[in-house]
Chain A
């Protein structure tokens, strides 16, 4: 029977991946995600897997590229500056239609930034995970249990749609301890007839490639990929709604920040303010419909992030001017407190019609 255990977020990510049948890990240490790699280094050799500490993030993502090309479940993990280094490889993975898992335990930026938690890589993850036309699936867990559950979904959907998936976590989630239960479900790896894993003289060569000599061929491939993205936007956007039914003020927050917002919303309710929260679980695809729906009943919205305002742009696009969308953010490694967020809610409530 599945029992509840206490785990650190980073370890839970690693253990969940192993339970998904991912036995190939390529990485390079960086705080605050190092425990993902350390856990893999300890566990994978014991279960016939491969842990490879690459000489850089660039080579780590290219090892993932190689493993994924061969149809193997593979992953890498890093924190913000390390993800920047990986973006070239991520673009190649996108261009070659390869599934893999990338973990970003976000820290403060830009540049070397700092090691404290942050959510300032939202733009990078959702808009430009690499150069060129393309997207990756981006999941934004808010609890350690959800990190575990989303690792399972990330591998599954990455293979379903043949594209990289990212778990967009932050240092707070990576470093904290929480109870988790590992789901006892059978993991089914998808058939990969496209994999370059040896044709045994029985089929044509499979070629993994992102280079197209003819522009019309590249345009066609990109258009096909974007048609797939439309299906994903339609089917895979996920969201949690908390006390939204009668909410006058709706706060939008994702990841660890949503834990703080939840406490603030609860406190606002106790003070008679009808507050609610919409929490995107996928940030690409962004749950635009759910956010737009919230704008139909609320009179004002507030987006809270550990950044200077990134997701708020997607919120405003979804709301499309229907109601004002305010923003509150802390950055540089500062975690907003429930009291600060409550203060913002009260301020907005004061101005609400």
Chain B
């Protein structure tokens, strides 16, 4: 079991909300975060709040996470054949039960963030939350810091909550190299600066760790497992 207090973990609170442009890699980050919080000995829940994506979402990991003692809450029709973006009452339970830690994976863009808006008042009153904005420099239409900053403004508007930190999750899927990460740092810093938010982490495939650590260019590094894979690739085992 890896039990490392990565910088991003230190930024985590009781409620850890993950938003971003869809395709920024929120789900992969959410699964990693929930595992690392569990490794810290917390009683954690992963909430899939995505009402936009019909599939390829954090609900895909329900069974694997539950077998590791991580509670999951999914929209009741997630990964079924029904196209009903309904969120069940159980989501409210993580807001009520103050001894539970949660990672909340929000759907992409402002459209996805609308689901979070319904809980904004309660989250604000609770106060013990981190709201991470995930960015990916390789993602089309978020390639400039201006564009990335603009998307957060739209997300904040519909979610009725202000982000508390930026997570750089730049990747081009299976073609990601250490250069992809290194060339994203300046971009991520500028996004954070524009938004006046801390850059809490730069996440990268842990297999690139050696090269990146050698380059010494990544501060707040967060090495992650790649769990979100296309259906023809072997699944990475989800374990503590």
Q: Which residues of A contact B (CB under 8 A)?
A: 4-8, 11, 15, 31-32, 38, 108, 113-117, 171-172, 175-179, 256, 259-260, 262-263, 332-333, 335, 337-338
Inter-chain CA distance A171–B232, complex, in Å, is 15
| B117 in the interface (beta carbon within 8 A) | no
Residues on B with beta carbons closer than 8 Å to the beta carbon of A7: 23, 139-140
Q: Do A4 and B138 touch across chains, with their CB atoms under 8 A apart? A: yes
Chain B residue at minimum C-beta to C-beta distance from A258? B232
Q: Do A6 and B140 touch across chains, with their CB atoms under 8 A apart? A: yes
Chain A residue at minimum C-beta to C-beta distance from B81? A114
Partner of B231 from A6, A15, A114, A337 at Cβ < 8 Å: A337
Residues on A with beta carbons closer than 8 Å to the beta carbon of B173: 6, 177-179
Inter-chain CA distance A8–B56, complex, in Å, is 11
Q: B123-151, CB under 8 A of A: which get 1 and which 0?
A: 00000000000001011100100000000
Q: Do A263 and B232 touch across chains, with their CB atoms under 8 A apart? A: yes
Residues on B with beta carbons closer than 8 Å to the beta carbon of A116: 54-55, 81
Residues on B with beta carbons closer than 8 Å to the beta carbon of A31: 54, 83
Q: Which residues of B contact A (CB under 8 A)?
A: 22-23, 53-56, 80-83, 111, 136, 138-140, 143, 171-175, 230-233
Residues on A with beta carbons closer than 8 Å to the beta carbon of B80: 114
Inter-chain CA distance A5–B23, complex, in Å, is 11
CB distance from B142 to the nearest CB of A (A): 10
Q: Do B56 and A6 touch across chains, with their CB atoms under 8 A apart? A: no
Inter-chain CA distance A15–B22, complex, in Å, is 16
What would be 8 A-B contacts, judged by CB atoms less than 8 Å apart? Answer: A4-B138, A6-B23, A113-B81, A114-B81, A175-B53, A177-B23, A260-B231, A263-B233
Residues on A with beta carbons closer than 8 Å to the beta carbon of B54: 31-32, 115-116, 171, 175
Partner of A172 from B136, B175, B231 at Cβ < 8 Å: B231
Q: Which of B80, B140, B173: most chain A Cβ within 10 A?
A: B140
Q: Do A179 and B172 touch across chains, with their CB atoms under 8 A apart? A: yes
Residues on B with beta carbons closer than 8 Å to the beta carbon of A113: 81
Chain B residue at minimum C-beta to C-beta distance from A332? B81
Chain A residue at minimum C-beta to C-beta distance from B171? A6
Chain B residue at minimum C-beta to C-beta distance from A116? B81
Q: Do A108 and B140 touch across chains, with their CB atoms under 8 A apart? A: no
Given A175-B55, A259-B232, are A6 and B136 neighbors across the interface (CB < 8 Å)?
yes
Residues on A with beta carbons closer than 8 Å to the beta carbon of B23: 6-8, 177
Residues on B with beta carbons closer than 8 Å to the beta carbon of A108: 81
Residues on B with beta carbons closer than 8 Å to the beta carbon of A333: 81
Q: Do A176 and B53 touch across chains, with their CB atoms under 8 A apart? A: no
Residues on B with beta carbons closer than 8 Å to the beta carbon of A337: 231
CB distance from A208 to the nearest CB of B (A): 36
Q: Do B138 and A6 touch across chains, with their CB atoms under 8 A apart? A: yes
Residues on A with beta carbons closer than 8 Å to the beta carbon of B56: 175-176
Residues on B with beta carbons closer than 8 Å to the beta carbon of A260: 231-232
Q: Do A4 and B172 touch across chains, with their CB atoms under 8 A apart? A: yes
Q: Which of B23, B53, B82, B136: most chain A Cβ within 10 A?
A: B23
CB distance from B86 to the nearest CB of A (A): 14
Q: Do A8 and B230 touch across chains, with their CB atoms under 8 A apart? A: no
CB distance from B139 to the nearest CB of A (A): 5
Q: What are the 3 closest A-B residue pairs judged by CB atoms, nearest first?
A: A114-B81, A179-B172, A263-B232
Q: Do B140 and A5 touch across chains, with their CB atoms under 8 A apart? A: yes
